[in-house]
């Protein structure tokens, strides 16, 4: 069975400070992991994905995530937050090569001026 | 432009009145899927389709039907909608090979209200 836990439902940071959104996963198999972003009243956009290649994954808009198998984590980071980063972020796990995707419950990021 | 489209984008209906939400993709993707998004619950998979005429249940299939008669279309059918199906619905497609392997591309969403 697979599951994903986003450890914070809300995160607030000041503009220009680092962002850390935490995600832990559980998977009996080799997982594929994703981060998606959803801006208000918009669809979902892929930020980055891990599919068993490099453990440090770089995505769009300066985001990156590190796959840590020993900690079963896939935390999303960004060195410096921008106002435009305010959105909801979803961590997603899938068993590589299958058709089912499990979404976390989301983390709403607020960026303060 | 490569995209997933959904119609309608907004729908208000009444309990028991059958409705269909259409989903179409122009990327020749074999895999398509439907999700519902509810506050605090993230996205939950309703049904998915691996290819034409091949579908399977996701985590919350009750009250929904799907069909996949052609590769580009994957409609979601609510035969007798109920208020607990009020939600935001997303369709997604995926290319099983190539550069974007395993990535899902999402439609813009359909906000459904059942009174």
- Per residue in A27-44, pLDDT (tens digit) is 878 888 999 999 988 889
Residue reference for tokens 């435009």:
A84
pLDDT at A97 over 90: no
Q: Which of A9, A43, A101 lies nearest to residue B45, judging by beta carbons?
A: A101
B54: nearest CA partner in chain A: A99
B48: nearest CA partner in chain A: A99
Binned at pLDDT 50, 70 and 90, residue A106 comes out as: very high
Please give the average per-residue pLDDT across A10-27, as a whole number: 96
Calculate the CA A69 to chain-centre distance.
15
A70 to chain B, closest Cα gap in Å: 23
pLDDT at A64 over 80: yes
Query: Is A99's CB within 8 Å of B33's CB?
Result: yes
Q: What is the pLDDT of residue A51?
A: 81
Q: What is the pLDDT of residue A68?
A: 93
Q: Does B110 touch chain A (CB under 8 A)?
A: no
Q: What is the pLDDT of residue B111?
A: 96
Q: Does A51 touch chain B (CB under 8 A)?
A: yes
Q: What is the pLDDT of residue A43?
A: 87
| Residue numbers in chain B where pLDDT is lower than 50 | none
Binned at pLDDT 50, 70 and 90, residue A100 comes out as: confident
Judge whether A88 and A37 are in contact, CB under 8 Å. Answer: yes
Q: Which residues of B touch A46 (CB under 8 A)?
A: 103-105
Judge whether A65 and A50 are in contact, CB under 8 Å. Answer: yes
Judge whether A75 and A23 are in contact, CB under 8 Å. Answer: yes
Judge whether B34 and B74 are in contact, CB under 8 Å. Answer: yes
What does the pLDDT look like over B79-104, one tens digit per residue?
999 999 999 999 999 987 777 777 88
Question: SS3 of A58, please?
Answer: strand
Judge whether B11 and B112 are in contact, CB under 8 Å. Answer: yes
Q: What is the pLDDT of residue B95?
A: 81
Q: CB under 8 Å to B5, separation ≥6 — which residues?
A: B23, B24, B25, B107, B108
Tell whether omega for the bond before B8 is within 30 degrees of 0, i.e. cis.
yes
Q: Does A17 touch chain B (CB under 8 A)?
A: no
Query: Is B103's CB within 8 Å of A103's CB?
Result: no
Q: What is the pLDDT of residue A2?
A: 81
**Strand locations in A44-106, DSSP E?**
44-50, 56-58, 64-68, 73-78, 87-95, 101-103
Q: What is the pLDDT of residue A31?
A: 87
Q: Does A99 touch chain B (CB under 8 A)?
A: yes
DSSP secondary structure string for all residues of B53-92: TEEEE-S--TT-EE--SSTTB--EEESS--GGG-EEEEEE
Phi, psi of B81 (to 5 degrees): -60, 145
pLDDT at A52 over 90: no
Q: Which of A51, A100, A105 lies nearest to residue B58, judging by beta carbons?
A: A100
d(CA A100, CA A48): 18
Q: What is the pLDDT of residue B26?
A: 94
pLDDT at A99 over 90: no
Q: Does A7 touch chain B (CB under 8 A)?
A: no
A9 to chain B, closest Cα gap in Å: 8
């Amino acid at each position: 069975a697979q599951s994903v836990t986003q450890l914070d439902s809300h995160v607030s940071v000041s503009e220009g400070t680092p962002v850390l959104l935490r995600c832990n996963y559980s998977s009996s198999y080799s997982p594929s992991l994703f981060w998606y972003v959803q801006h208000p009243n918009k669809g979902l956009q892929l930020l980055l994905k891990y599919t068993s290649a490099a453990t440090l994954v770089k995505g769009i808009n300066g985001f990156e995530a590190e796959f840590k198998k020993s900690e079963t984590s896939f935390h999303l980071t960004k060195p410096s937050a921008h106002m435009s980063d305010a959105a909801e972020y979803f961590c997603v796990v899938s068993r590589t090569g299958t058709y089912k995707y499990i979404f976390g419950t989301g983390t709403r990021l607020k960026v303060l001026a | 432009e490569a995209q997933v489209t959904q119609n309608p984008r907004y729908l208000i209906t009444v309990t028991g009145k059958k409705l269909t939400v259409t989903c179409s993709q122009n990327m020749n993707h074999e895999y398509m899927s439907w999700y519902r998004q509810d506050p605090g619950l993230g996205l939950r998979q309703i049904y998915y389709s691996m290819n034409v005429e091949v579908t399977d249940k996701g985590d919350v299939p009750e009250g929904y039907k799907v069909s996949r008669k052609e590769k580009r279309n994957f409609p979601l059918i609510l035969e007798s909608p109920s208020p607990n199906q009020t939600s935001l619905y997303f369709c997604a497609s995926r290319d099983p090979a190539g550069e974007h392997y395993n990535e899902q591309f999402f439609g813009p969403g359909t906000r459904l209200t059942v009174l």
